[in-house]
Structure 1
Amino acid sequence: MRAKTIRTTRKLALTGAVAAAGLLLAACSGSGSGDSMGGMDHGGKATTSASAAPSSAGAFNDADVMFAQMMIPHHEQALEMAKLADGRAEDAEIKKLVGEIEKAQDPEIQKMKGWLKTWGKPESMGGGGHGMAGMMSDTDMKALSATKGKAFDRKFAELMIAHHEGAVEMAKTEQTNGSDAAAKQVADDVVRTQAAEIAQLKKILERL
Protein backbone atom coordinates (compact mmCIF):
# COMPACT_ATOMS: atom_id res chain seq x y z
CA MET A 1 0.00 0.00 0.00
CA ARG A 2 2.80 2.39 0.86
CA ALA A 3 4.60 1.74 -2.45
CA LYS A 4 1.36 2.43 -4.34
CA THR A 5 0.94 5.76 -2.51
CA ILE A 6 4.49 6.83 -3.40
CA ARG A 7 3.93 5.96 -7.05
CA THR A 8 0.69 7.97 -7.09
CA THR A 9 2.40 11.00 -5.49
CA ARG A 10 5.21 10.89 -8.03
CA LYS A 11 2.71 10.63 -10.86
CA LEU A 12 0.82 13.70 -9.63
CA ALA A 13 4.07 15.68 -9.23
CA LEU A 14 5.13 14.76 -12.77
CA THR A 15 1.73 15.74 -14.14
CA GLY A 16 1.95 19.12 -12.38
CA ALA A 17 5.44 19.74 -13.75
CA VAL A 18 4.33 18.97 -17.30
CA ALA A 19 1.35 21.31 -16.94
CA ALA A 20 3.58 24.11 -15.64
CA ALA A 21 6.00 23.61 -18.52
CA GLY A 22 3.11 23.81 -20.97
CA LEU A 23 1.95 27.11 -19.52
CA LEU A 24 5.46 28.54 -19.68
CA LEU A 25 5.82 27.58 -23.35
CA ALA A 26 2.45 29.14 -24.14
CA ALA A 27 3.52 32.41 -22.49
CA CYS A 28 6.79 32.47 -24.41
CA SER A 29 5.12 31.89 -27.76
CA GLY A 30 2.26 34.35 -27.12
CA SER A 31 4.00 37.31 -28.78
CA GLY A 32 3.68 35.83 -32.25
CA SER A 33 6.01 34.41 -34.87
CA GLY A 34 8.15 37.54 -35.22
CA ASP A 35 9.61 37.52 -31.70
CA SER A 36 9.08 34.34 -29.70
CA MET A 37 10.80 35.82 -26.63
CA GLY A 38 8.97 39.16 -26.70
CA GLY A 39 6.82 38.42 -23.66
CA MET A 40 9.78 37.74 -21.38
CA ASP A 41 12.13 40.11 -19.63
CA HIS A 42 15.50 39.44 -21.26
CA GLY A 43 16.51 43.07 -21.69
CA GLY A 44 14.81 43.16 -25.09
CA LYS A 45 12.16 45.35 -26.67
CA ALA A 46 9.45 44.90 -24.05
CA THR A 47 11.67 46.10 -21.20
CA THR A 48 13.16 48.97 -23.23
CA SER A 49 9.80 50.37 -24.29
CA ALA A 50 8.48 50.31 -20.73
CA SER A 51 11.50 52.16 -19.34
CA ALA A 52 11.35 54.76 -22.15
CA ALA A 53 7.71 55.66 -21.48
CA PRO A 54 8.34 58.36 -18.81
CA SER A 55 10.93 60.10 -21.03
CA SER A 56 8.67 60.15 -24.07
CA ALA A 57 5.93 61.63 -21.90
CA GLY A 58 8.18 64.63 -21.13
CA ALA A 59 10.95 64.42 -18.56
CA PHE A 60 12.11 67.80 -17.18
CA ASN A 61 15.21 69.00 -15.38
CA ASP A 62 16.37 72.02 -13.36
CA ALA A 63 17.21 73.96 -16.53
CA ASP A 64 13.60 73.63 -17.74
CA VAL A 65 12.27 74.85 -14.38
CA MET A 66 14.63 77.83 -14.33
CA PHE A 67 13.79 78.72 -17.93
CA ALA A 68 10.07 78.87 -17.14
CA GLN A 69 10.54 80.71 -13.83
CA MET A 70 12.76 83.34 -15.49
CA MET A 71 10.88 83.69 -18.77
CA ILE A 72 7.47 84.26 -17.16
CA PRO A 73 8.40 87.61 -15.50
CA HIS A 74 10.53 88.48 -18.55
CA HIS A 75 7.53 88.06 -20.86
CA GLU A 76 5.27 89.85 -18.37
CA GLN A 77 7.54 92.90 -18.45
CA ALA A 78 7.52 92.87 -22.24
CA LEU A 79 3.72 92.98 -22.08
CA GLU A 80 3.91 95.92 -19.63
CA MET A 81 6.15 97.74 -22.11
CA ALA A 82 3.74 96.94 -24.93
CA LYS A 83 0.78 98.33 -22.95
CA LEU A 84 2.65 101.63 -22.53
CA ALA A 85 2.55 102.01 -26.32
CA ASP A 86 -1.21 102.59 -26.18
CA GLY A 87 -1.70 106.34 -26.57
CA ARG A 88 2.07 106.98 -26.68
CA ALA A 89 3.43 105.24 -29.80
CA GLU A 90 3.32 107.15 -33.08
CA ASP A 91 5.13 104.93 -35.59
CA ALA A 92 2.84 102.47 -37.43
CA GLU A 93 5.49 99.73 -37.48
CA ILE A 94 6.06 100.06 -33.74
CA LYS A 95 2.30 99.76 -33.16
CA LYS A 96 2.13 96.63 -35.32
CA LEU A 97 5.11 95.08 -33.53
CA VAL A 98 3.51 95.78 -30.16
CA GLY A 99 0.47 93.76 -31.25
CA GLU A 100 2.67 90.88 -32.37
CA ILE A 101 4.52 90.85 -29.03
CA GLU A 102 1.23 90.71 -27.11
CA LYS A 103 -0.11 87.96 -29.37
CA ALA A 104 2.98 85.77 -28.98
CA GLN A 105 4.04 86.24 -25.39
CA ASP A 106 0.79 86.01 -23.43
CA PRO A 107 0.06 82.42 -24.61
CA GLU A 108 3.67 81.45 -23.82
CA ILE A 109 3.26 82.76 -20.27
CA GLN A 110 0.18 80.56 -19.81
CA LYS A 111 2.05 77.53 -21.19
CA MET A 112 4.97 78.03 -18.82
CA LYS A 113 2.70 78.51 -15.81
CA GLY A 114 1.01 75.24 -16.75
CA TRP A 115 4.36 73.40 -16.91
CA LEU A 116 5.39 74.61 -13.47
CA LYS A 117 2.06 73.56 -12.00
CA THR A 118 2.43 70.11 -13.55
CA TRP A 119 6.01 69.83 -12.31
CA GLY A 120 5.01 70.90 -8.79
CA LYS A 121 7.34 73.93 -8.90
CA PRO A 122 6.64 77.56 -7.87
CA GLU A 123 6.06 80.15 -10.59
CA SER A 124 8.49 82.63 -9.09
CA MET A 125 12.15 82.38 -8.18
CA GLY A 126 11.79 85.45 -5.95
CA GLY A 127 13.76 88.67 -6.17
CA GLY A 128 11.48 90.40 -8.71
CA GLY A 129 13.51 89.32 -11.73
CA HIS A 130 15.28 92.63 -12.33
CA GLY A 131 18.67 90.94 -12.23
CA MET A 132 17.89 88.80 -15.29
CA ALA A 133 19.37 89.52 -18.69
CA GLY A 134 17.49 92.25 -20.53
CA MET A 135 15.10 93.15 -17.70
CA MET A 136 14.26 96.82 -17.38
CA SER A 137 14.69 98.62 -14.07
CA ASP A 138 11.87 100.61 -12.50
CA THR A 139 13.71 103.75 -13.65
CA ASP A 140 13.73 102.47 -17.25
CA MET A 141 10.00 101.78 -17.15
CA LYS A 142 9.24 105.22 -15.68
CA ALA A 143 11.39 106.89 -18.33
CA LEU A 144 9.54 105.02 -21.08
CA SER A 145 6.12 105.94 -19.68
CA ALA A 146 7.17 109.61 -19.52
CA THR A 147 7.73 109.84 -23.30
CA LYS A 148 5.33 110.16 -26.22
CA GLY A 149 5.33 110.21 -30.00
CA LYS A 150 8.63 109.71 -31.81
CA ALA A 151 10.56 109.96 -28.54
CA PHE A 152 8.53 107.02 -27.21
CA ASP A 153 9.09 105.05 -30.41
CA ARG A 154 12.85 105.45 -30.16
CA LYS A 155 12.98 104.68 -26.44
CA PHE A 156 10.68 101.69 -26.87
CA ALA A 157 12.81 100.27 -29.70
CA GLU A 158 16.05 100.71 -27.73
CA LEU A 159 14.69 99.09 -24.57
CA MET A 160 12.91 96.27 -26.39
CA ILE A 161 16.08 95.38 -28.30
CA ALA A 162 17.91 94.92 -24.99
CA HIS A 163 14.92 93.08 -23.54
CA HIS A 164 14.71 90.68 -26.49
CA GLU A 165 18.45 90.07 -26.43
CA GLY A 166 18.11 88.92 -22.81
CA ALA A 167 15.27 86.58 -23.73
CA VAL A 168 17.26 85.08 -26.61
CA GLU A 169 20.20 84.51 -24.27
CA MET A 170 17.99 82.62 -21.79
CA ALA A 171 16.33 80.64 -24.57
CA LYS A 172 19.69 79.54 -25.98
CA THR A 173 20.66 78.28 -22.52
CA GLU A 174 17.44 76.23 -22.47
CA GLN A 175 18.20 74.86 -25.94
CA THR A 176 21.55 73.61 -24.66
CA ASN A 177 20.70 72.45 -21.13
CA GLY A 178 16.96 71.74 -21.10
CA SER A 179 15.30 68.34 -21.27
CA ASP A 180 11.55 68.89 -21.65
CA ALA A 181 10.50 68.82 -25.30
CA ALA A 182 7.76 71.46 -24.93
CA ALA A 183 10.09 73.85 -23.08
CA LYS A 184 12.79 73.43 -25.73
CA GLN A 185 10.20 74.12 -28.44
CA VAL A 186 9.22 77.41 -26.79
CA ALA A 187 12.93 78.25 -26.50
CA ASP A 188 13.29 77.62 -30.25
CA ASP A 189 10.32 79.90 -30.92
CA VAL A 190 11.75 82.66 -28.70
CA VAL A 191 15.13 82.55 -30.45
CA ARG A 192 13.55 82.61 -33.92
CA THR A 193 10.86 85.26 -33.40
CA GLN A 194 12.70 87.62 -31.09
CA ALA A 195 15.91 87.57 -33.13
CA ALA A 196 13.80 88.63 -36.12
CA GLU A 197 12.15 91.38 -34.06
CA ILE A 198 15.55 92.63 -32.87
CA ALA A 199 16.60 93.03 -36.51
CA GLN A 200 13.31 94.81 -37.28
CA LEU A 201 13.64 97.18 -34.32
CA LYS A 202 17.18 98.09 -35.35
CA LYS A 203 15.94 99.04 -38.81
CA ILE A 204 13.18 101.13 -37.25
CA LEU A 205 15.74 102.99 -35.15
CA GLU A 206 17.77 103.79 -38.25
CA ARG A 207 14.87 105.66 -39.85
CA LEU A 208 13.39 107.32 -36.77
Structure 2
Amino acid sequence: MSNLRTLARRATLVAATGAAALVLAACGGDGADRAAGGSGHGDAGSHSPAATPSSAGAHNAQDVAFAQGMIPHHRQALEMARLAGDRASSDTVKDLAGRIEKAQDPEIRTMTGWLKSWGEDVPASSGGAMDHSASGHSGMPGMMGAEDMDALAKLTGKAFDVQFLTMMVEHHEGAVEMARTEQGKGRHGQAKSMAEDIVTAQNAEITEMNKLLGKSASKSDSSQG
Protein backbone atom coordinates (compact mmCIF):
# COMPACT_ATOMS: atom_id res chain seq x y z
CA MET A 1 0.00 0.00 0.00
CA SER A 2 2.84 2.36 0.82
CA ASN A 3 4.40 1.70 -2.60
CA LEU A 4 1.08 2.40 -4.35
CA ARG A 5 0.66 5.58 -2.33
CA THR A 6 4.21 6.66 -3.18
CA LEU A 7 3.64 6.02 -6.90
CA ALA A 8 0.42 8.02 -6.75
CA ARG A 9 2.18 10.90 -5.06
CA ARG A 10 4.94 10.80 -7.67
CA ALA A 11 2.33 11.05 -10.43
CA THR A 12 0.70 13.95 -8.58
CA LEU A 13 4.09 15.61 -8.18
CA VAL A 14 4.84 15.43 -11.91
CA ALA A 15 1.41 16.77 -12.81
CA ALA A 16 1.37 19.49 -10.17
CA THR A 17 4.94 20.81 -10.29
CA GLY A 18 4.45 23.34 -13.08
CA ALA A 19 1.23 24.85 -11.77
CA ALA A 20 2.33 24.71 -8.17
CA ALA A 21 5.63 26.42 -8.89
CA LEU A 22 3.77 29.35 -10.44
CA VAL A 23 1.29 29.57 -7.57
CA LEU A 24 4.00 29.31 -4.93
CA ALA A 25 6.14 31.91 -6.65
CA ALA A 26 3.21 34.32 -6.66
CA CYS A 27 2.46 33.66 -2.98
CA GLY A 28 6.01 33.33 -1.72
CA GLY A 29 6.29 36.72 -0.07
CA ASP A 30 3.09 36.76 1.95
CA GLY A 31 4.11 34.53 4.85
CA ALA A 32 4.85 37.41 7.21
CA ASP A 33 1.56 39.12 6.37
CA ARG A 34 -0.37 35.89 6.99
CA ALA A 35 1.38 35.35 10.30
CA ALA A 36 0.60 38.91 11.38
CA GLY A 37 -3.04 38.53 10.40
CA GLY A 38 -3.53 35.20 12.15
CA SER A 39 -4.08 31.73 10.79
CA GLY A 40 -7.00 29.44 10.26
CA HIS A 41 -5.53 26.91 12.70
CA GLY A 42 -7.33 28.00 15.82
CA ASP A 43 -7.11 24.80 17.83
CA ALA A 44 -3.87 25.50 19.67
CA GLY A 45 -5.53 27.92 22.06
CA SER A 46 -8.36 25.52 22.88
CA HIS A 47 -5.94 22.89 24.12
CA SER A 48 -3.11 24.99 25.50
CA PRO A 49 -0.45 23.06 27.44
CA ALA A 50 -0.84 25.69 30.16
CA ALA A 51 -4.18 24.07 30.98
CA THR A 52 -3.66 20.88 32.94
CA PRO A 53 -5.26 17.97 31.05
CA SER A 54 -8.26 16.79 33.03
CA SER A 55 -9.24 13.22 33.75
CA ALA A 56 -12.71 14.43 34.72
CA GLY A 57 -15.52 12.83 32.79
CA ALA A 58 -15.95 9.31 31.51
CA HIS A 59 -13.87 7.99 28.64
CA ASN A 60 -14.04 4.84 26.56
CA ALA A 61 -11.77 2.64 24.45
CA GLN A 62 -12.26 4.91 21.42
CA ASP A 63 -10.94 7.91 23.36
CA VAL A 64 -7.83 5.92 24.25
CA ALA A 65 -7.39 4.76 20.65
CA PHE A 66 -7.82 8.33 19.40
CA ALA A 67 -5.08 9.69 21.68
CA GLN A 68 -2.72 6.75 21.11
CA GLY A 69 -3.15 7.05 17.35
CA MET A 70 -3.17 10.83 16.98
CA ILE A 71 0.02 11.32 19.02
CA PRO A 72 2.31 9.52 16.51
CA HIS A 73 0.26 10.96 13.65
CA HIS A 74 0.89 14.48 14.93
CA ARG A 75 4.56 13.66 15.60
CA GLN A 76 5.04 12.78 11.95
CA ALA A 77 3.34 16.02 10.87
CA LEU A 78 5.77 17.93 13.10
CA GLU A 79 8.70 16.04 11.59
CA MET A 80 7.55 17.07 8.13
CA ALA A 81 6.89 20.65 9.20
CA ARG A 82 10.34 21.05 10.76
CA LEU A 83 11.98 20.02 7.49
CA ALA A 84 10.46 23.09 5.84
CA GLY A 85 12.57 25.55 7.81
CA ASP A 86 15.74 25.11 5.74
CA ARG A 87 14.38 23.28 2.68
CA ALA A 88 11.27 25.14 1.51
CA SER A 89 11.66 27.98 -0.98
CA SER A 90 8.23 29.53 -0.40
CA ASP A 91 7.52 31.77 2.56
CA THR A 92 3.92 30.58 2.37
CA VAL A 93 4.98 26.95 2.84
CA LYS A 94 7.25 27.93 5.73
CA ASP A 95 4.41 29.87 7.34
CA LEU A 96 2.04 26.92 6.95
CA ALA A 97 4.60 24.56 8.46
CA GLY A 98 5.04 26.90 11.42
CA ARG A 99 1.28 27.01 12.03
CA ILE A 100 1.06 23.21 11.89
CA GLU A 101 3.82 22.92 14.49
CA LYS A 102 2.27 25.60 16.72
CA ALA A 103 -1.10 23.83 16.73
CA GLN A 104 -0.10 20.18 16.93
CA ASP A 105 2.74 20.22 19.46
CA PRO A 106 0.41 21.41 22.29
CA GLU A 107 -2.16 18.84 21.24
CA ILE A 108 0.42 16.08 21.61
CA ARG A 109 1.15 17.23 25.15
CA THR A 110 -2.55 17.42 25.99
CA MET A 111 -3.25 13.91 24.70
CA THR A 112 -0.21 12.60 26.53
CA GLY A 113 -1.67 14.05 29.72
CA TRP A 114 -4.98 12.30 29.10
CA LEU A 115 -3.35 8.92 28.59
CA LYS A 116 -1.27 9.26 31.75
CA SER A 117 -4.31 10.29 33.79
CA TRP A 118 -6.23 7.29 32.41
CA GLY A 119 -3.39 4.88 33.25
CA GLU A 120 -2.83 4.08 29.56
CA ASP A 121 0.41 3.72 27.59
CA VAL A 122 1.81 6.76 25.78
CA PRO A 123 3.28 5.92 22.34
CA ALA A 124 7.07 5.90 22.52
CA SER A 125 9.24 8.30 20.55
CA SER A 126 12.97 8.09 19.95
CA GLY A 127 13.18 11.88 20.01
CA GLY A 128 15.79 12.04 17.25
CA ALA A 129 16.12 14.74 14.59
CA MET A 130 14.50 12.38 12.07
CA ASP A 131 12.23 10.32 14.31
CA HIS A 132 10.87 7.50 12.17
CA SER A 133 9.16 5.80 15.11
CA ALA A 134 5.84 7.17 13.84
CA SER A 135 6.38 5.36 10.54
CA GLY A 136 5.76 2.12 12.38
CA HIS A 137 2.10 3.20 12.48
CA SER A 138 1.84 3.22 8.67
CA GLY A 139 -1.50 1.39 8.86
CA MET A 140 -3.16 4.57 10.13
CA PRO A 141 -4.84 6.85 7.57
CA GLY A 142 -2.45 9.33 5.98
CA MET A 143 0.74 8.03 7.63
CA MET A 144 3.92 8.11 5.55
CA GLY A 145 6.47 5.31 5.41
CA ALA A 146 10.12 5.83 6.34
CA GLU A 147 11.07 5.86 2.65
CA ASP A 148 8.61 8.70 2.02
CA MET A 149 10.08 10.75 4.85
CA ASP A 150 13.65 10.10 3.74
CA ALA A 151 12.79 11.13 0.17
CA LEU A 152 11.21 14.37 1.39
CA ALA A 153 14.26 15.18 3.51
CA LYS A 154 16.48 14.99 0.41
CA LEU A 155 14.51 17.63 -1.49
CA THR A 156 14.99 21.41 -1.45
CA GLY A 157 13.44 24.44 -3.09
CA LYS A 158 10.27 24.20 -5.18
CA ALA A 159 10.56 20.41 -5.44
CA PHE A 160 10.37 20.23 -1.64
CA ASP A 161 7.45 22.67 -1.54
CA VAL A 162 5.35 20.59 -3.93
CA GLN A 163 6.13 17.24 -2.32
CA PHE A 164 5.61 18.63 1.18
CA LEU A 165 2.19 19.97 0.24
CA THR A 166 1.23 16.76 -1.57
CA MET A 167 2.21 14.60 1.39
CA MET A 168 0.69 16.92 3.98
CA VAL A 169 -2.67 16.97 2.20
CA GLU A 170 -2.80 13.18 2.44
CA HIS A 171 -1.59 13.30 6.04
CA HIS A 172 -4.26 15.85 7.01
CA GLU A 173 -6.97 13.83 5.27
CA GLY A 174 -5.97 10.87 7.43
CA ALA A 175 -6.12 12.96 10.61
CA VAL A 176 -9.58 14.22 9.67
CA GLU A 177 -10.77 10.64 9.16
CA MET A 178 -9.43 9.64 12.59
CA ALA A 179 -10.98 12.70 14.22
CA ARG A 180 -14.38 12.01 12.68
CA THR A 181 -14.28 8.51 14.17
CA GLU A 182 -13.64 10.06 17.58
CA GLN A 183 -16.51 12.50 17.09
CA GLY A 184 -18.86 9.65 16.35
CA LYS A 185 -17.68 7.00 18.82
CA GLY A 186 -15.76 8.78 21.57
CA ARG A 187 -17.12 9.62 25.01
CA HIS A 188 -14.64 11.99 26.65
CA GLY A 189 -15.78 15.59 26.20
CA GLN A 190 -12.32 17.13 25.80
CA ALA A 191 -11.21 14.46 23.32
CA LYS A 192 -14.33 14.97 21.20
CA SER A 193 -13.79 18.73 21.33
CA MET A 194 -10.20 18.35 20.13
CA ALA A 195 -11.41 16.05 17.35
CA GLU A 196 -13.84 18.76 16.22
CA ASP A 197 -11.01 21.31 16.21
CA ILE A 198 -8.83 18.98 14.13
CA VAL A 199 -11.58 18.46 11.55
CA THR A 200 -12.21 22.19 11.21
CA ALA A 201 -8.59 23.35 11.17
CA GLN A 202 -7.11 20.62 9.01
CA ASN A 203 -9.90 20.76 6.43
CA ALA A 204 -9.16 24.49 6.11
CA GLU A 205 -5.46 23.74 5.63
CA ILE A 206 -6.25 21.03 3.07
CA THR A 207 -8.13 23.65 1.04
CA GLU A 208 -5.22 26.07 1.41
CA MET A 209 -2.63 23.49 0.35
CA ASN A 210 -4.65 22.32 -2.64
CA LYS A 211 -4.87 25.94 -3.82
CA LEU A 212 -1.10 26.22 -3.55
CA LEU A 213 -0.80 23.04 -5.60
CA GLY A 214 -3.06 24.59 -8.25
CA LYS A 215 -6.05 22.35 -7.54
CA SER A 216 -9.49 23.92 -7.67
CA ALA A 217 -11.00 21.86 -4.86
CA SER A 218 -9.95 19.29 -2.28
CA LYS A 219 -11.27 15.78 -1.93
CA SER A 220 -11.98 16.51 1.72
CA ASP A 221 -14.08 19.58 0.93
CA SER A 222 -16.29 17.64 -1.47
CA SER A 223 -17.00 15.05 1.22
CA GLN A 224 -17.96 17.49 3.99
CA GLY A 225 -21.48 17.61 5.34
Mark yes or no: TM-score above 0.5: yes
CA deviation after TM superposition for structure 1 residue 91, in Å: 1.0
CA deviation after TM superposition for structure 1 residue 57, in Å: 3.4
Rounded Cα–Cα distance in structure 1 between residues aligned with 2:85 and 2:91 = 12
CA deviation after TM superposition for structure 1 residue 128, in Å: 2.5
Unaligned runs of 5+ in 2: 1-54, 125-132, 216-225
Aligned length, in residue pairs: 152
> What is the identity, as a one-letter code, of the residue corresponding to 1:194?
Q
Matched, 1:122 2:130: no
TM-score under structure 2 length normalisation: 0.65
Residue in 1 that maps onto 2:59: 60
1:1-208 superposed matches below 5 A:
57-124=56-123, 128-206=136-214
1:96-121 CA-to-partner distances (Å, cap 9, x unmatched) read: 10110010000000000000000000
Query: Which region of structure 1 is more displaced relative to structure 2, 113-122 or 85-94?
Result: 85-94
Unaligned runs of 5+ in 1: 1-55
Rounded Cα–Cα distance in structure 2 between residues aligned with 1:155 and 1:88 = 11
Rounded Cα–Cα distance in structure 1 between residues aligned with 2:78 and 2:63 = 22
Cα RMSD, aligned residues only: 1.8
Residue in 2 that maps onto 1:12: none
CA deviation after TM superposition for structure 1 residue 63, in Å: 0.3
Rounded Cα–Cα distance in structure 1 between residues aligned with 2:199 and 2:102 = 16
Rounded Cα–Cα distance in structure 1 between residues aligned with 2:109 and 2:95 = 22
Rounded Cα–Cα distance in structure 1 between residues aligned with 2:176 and 2:205 = 11
Rounded Cα–Cα distance in structure 2 between residues aligned with 1:134 and 1:70 = 12
1:45-73 CA-to-partner distances (Å, cap 9, x unmatched) read: xxxxxxxxxxx931000000000000000
1:101-153 CA-to-partner distances (Å, cap 9, x unmatched) read: 01000000000000000000001399921211000001110110111000000
Rounded Cα–Cα distance in structure 1 between residues aligned with 2:77 and 2:56 = 31
Residue in 1 that maps onto 2:51: none
Residue in 1 that maps onto 2:47: none
> What is the identity, as a one-letter code, of the residue corresponding to 1:199?
T
**Looking at CA atoms only, which structure, 1 or 2, has the larger radius of gyration?**
1
Rounded Cα–Cα distance in structure 1 between residues aligned with 2:188 and 2:78 = 25
Rounded Cα–Cα distance in structure 2 between residues aligned with 1:206 and 1:130 = 28
The sequence identity of aligned pairs, in percent, is: 56
TM-score under structure 1 length normalisation: 0.70
1:9-42 CA-to-partner distances (Å, cap 9, x unmatched) read: xxxxxxxxxxxxxxxxxxxxxxxxxxxxxxxxxx
CA deviation after TM superposition for structure 1 residue 92, in Å: 1.4
